[in-house]
Structure 1
Amino acid sequence: MIDYTTFTEEALEARLAEMRQDHADLDAAIQALAASPVPDLIVIGRLKRKKLALKDEIARVEDMLNPDIIA
């Protein structure tokens, strides 16, 4: 896990944009693998776990950028 406490707001926003793109890329890869004639369920499962971990990291960074917003 990355320690974001030393990041500037601009660096956090840049990292957030990068993570959102990675999340979208993982989603596209999962959909492509799932649509194949013989989907590799192990690879799909690994990608889904990575996507979920990335979603959690995105939420942490969003919370750092918007600390006053209560979910």
Structure 2
Amino acid sequence: MFHMLKNSLLKQPSEEDPDEGIKDLVEITLKKMDHDHDGKLSFSDYEQAVREETLLLEAFGPCLPDPKVNKYYFH
């Protein structure tokens, strides 16, 4: 998860550990998605989290169609 989210934040020149923000983001993401609180992200945890918040799909890379494309094809 760290590697997928690594390029999602801008690095600040004043940061001592540039990966600290990414580590925090991973921790927050795991807390939000780990529904059974076992410290692991199972497929059922992932599926439930994505059903509740579809934008979590985009957090790991662009995979949803552009809103214009979505409107054209799905409405």
Shorter-normalised TM-score: what interval?
A: 0.3 to 0.5
Give the structure-2-normalised TM-score: 0.35
TM-score by length of 1: 0.36
Which protein has the bigger helix share? Answer: 1
